Structures are given as C-alpha cells and as structure tokens.
C-alpha cells in the first residue's frame, strides 16, 4: 500500500514512515507497537531521542518479519569523532536488538564544532556500510555546501538528506542540491510542527474539496513532490489518519498552490544547520 523510493545505492525505502521524536522512552514501545499494528513498516528514531530501546522492544514484540521493516537511526551530536561513531553505532544496534540497520544518518553537520570536520564523521559512517552492519548511509540537515564538501572529499554520495520541509518552509536550496546529487529528500517536521499551517486558508479549502483533513493534504503534497515523510503522533486515530494518503491525489494546480505558501527563512521552525551546535550532556 505504501509506495517505495529507490535510493542511489539501489535499496528501497518506504515513502511513508512513523516518527518517534519527543516520544518519551517509557512510552515508546507501546506507541510504536500501535503504529506497527496500523500498518507502518518504516520507523525513524535517533540516538538523541533516547528511545531506541523502546523501538527495539516494539519490533521484537510485533511479530512483523524483519525483512518487512525499515529502521532508521541517527548519530548523536556528541559522537562525531570516528571512534565514537563506531562505538555509538554498536550501542544503537544493541538497544534496537538488530544485527543490521537499514539507514543511519549524521543527524547534524555541526560545522562550527569538531574543527569544522564533519568529513571524517561521514567517512566513519560509510565505513559501517563496508563492514556490513549498515545497509544505507545518509545525512540530515545538510546544506548545499555541506553536501558538496563531503562528496568532493570522499567520493561517497549520501543516499538520503533528511531536512526540515513543509508548506511554509520549502527549503528549496537544500532540496535542489540533494536532487542534483541524486540524493532522496526526507522531510522532518512535514506538518510544520502543527499550528498555523494546519489552519491555512488555502490548505483548508483544498482539504474540503477532497473531504480530507489538512494534515492529510499536506502529507499528500509531500508524497506527490517525491518526499519521504514520517509524521509523529502518539494517538492511534491520528496514526490511521496519517496512513490514509494513497487513495486520493491532489491536482497539479493544488500542489502548486500549496508550494506557493512558502515563506522562505521566515517559515523555518527549527534551528539553522549552519549555526546549530547543540551537544547533549
């Protein structure tokens, strides 16, 4: 039911997944378990979220065959040094209870930290693929110059760039740079963290025309643009709602109307990758 996208390493990724950002660790197993029951097979977590163990517990309890699942995690900002990449990846695998991970991302480039060296971090992540423990390597929150640098200096193109993207912040520069390199775009915060975008007059009008919710229309807009999305919710009814994207389509004019809502940098809700330097304790 959920379409897949072929990545530049010839692997395939489900275009719709389930996000786990800000889900409390003690609630993760139950909530992810519900998502798996609804039909989600692509789960996105991160070392920084602190809930990998809960994701692993949900997978173990689900009875879903491993080959039907696609699991992503991301490198914590405190683990950029190559030895820390390898050590923390082992810890991620132990917490998830997996022998092989589908996708591992460098969560942030952190160009103002580690002497500006995110290239050695990228080399260490790609080394995990060579070791056979990781299927696909990618990045997150990478700007055009970040992508150009790691590709020029290593010759290895990420399969995925996970960036902030939603109707109020199209993030066109990062998106276009990713596509120029043949990198698939994953959209985090695809609903703009809720609020105003879900009440936008134009999106509300389009939703009414289709008999859909505004969140379904926004997610469908992402799907038709070719983005990979993984909306997060803790409510089962919203899981079901967000899963219902594949029995209707927006017209080209409707897609263009939503794209025209872009506010540029004024629409950004998350930190800017050029200056973000948070390292958890």
Active site residues: 49
Per DSSP, what are the bridge partners of residue 101? Answer: 134
DSSP output for 249-269: ---HHHHHHHHTT--GGGG--
Give the DSSP H or E segment for 137: strand 134-140
Residue 119 has φ and ψ, to the nearest 5°, of -70, -45
Q: Are the C-beta atoms of 180 and 148 separated by less than 8 Å?
A: no
Is 132 buried (19+), middle (13-18) or exposed (0-12) by CB count in 10 A? exposed
What does the block give as tokens for 249? 């389509």
Q: Which of 257, 252, 253 is nearest to 201 (CA)?
A: 257
Q: How far apart are CA 143 and CA 158, in angstroms?
A: 13
- Residue 217 has, within 13 A of its CA and on its CB side, a CA count of 27
Q: How far apart are CA 247 and CA 73, in angstroms?
A: 30
Q: Are the C-beta atoms of 42 and 73 separated by less than 8 Å?
A: no
What does the block give as tokens for 28? 């993760």
């Amino acid at each position: 039911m959920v379409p897949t996208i072929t990545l530049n390493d010839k692997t395939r990724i489900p275009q719709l997944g389930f996000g786990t950002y800000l889900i409390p660790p003690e609630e993760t197993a139950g909530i992810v378990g519900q998502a798996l029951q609804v039909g989600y097979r692509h789960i996105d977590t991160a070392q920084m979220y602190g809930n990998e163990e809960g994701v692993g517990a949900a997978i173990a309890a689900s009875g879903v065959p491993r080959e039907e699942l696609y699991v992503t995690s991301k490198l914590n900002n405190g683990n950029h040094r190559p030895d820390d990449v390898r050590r923390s990846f082992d810890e991620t695998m132990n917490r998830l209870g997996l022998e092989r991970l589908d996708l591992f991302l460098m969560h942030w480039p952190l160009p103002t930290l580690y002497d500006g060296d995110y290239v050695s971090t990228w080399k260490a992540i790609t080394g995990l693929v060579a070791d056979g423990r990781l299927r696909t390597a990618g990045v997150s929150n990478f700007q055009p110059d970040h992508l150009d640098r790691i590709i020029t200096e290593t010759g290895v193109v990420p399969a995925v760039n996970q960036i902030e993207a939603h109707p109020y912040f199209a993030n066109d520069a990062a998106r276009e740079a990713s596509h120029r390199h043949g990198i698939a775009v994953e959209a985090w915060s695809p609903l703009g963290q809720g609020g105003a975008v879900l009440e936008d007059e134009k999106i509300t009008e389009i939703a009414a025309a289709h008999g859909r919710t505004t969140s379904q229309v926004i997610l469908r807009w992402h799907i038709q643009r070719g983005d990979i999305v993984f909306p997060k919710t803790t409510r089962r009814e919203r899981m079901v709602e967000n899963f219902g994207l594949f029995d209707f389509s927006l017209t080209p004019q409707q897609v263009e109307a939503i794209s025209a809502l872009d506010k540029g940098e004024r629409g950004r809700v998350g930190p800017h990758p050029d200056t973000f330097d948070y390292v958890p304790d």
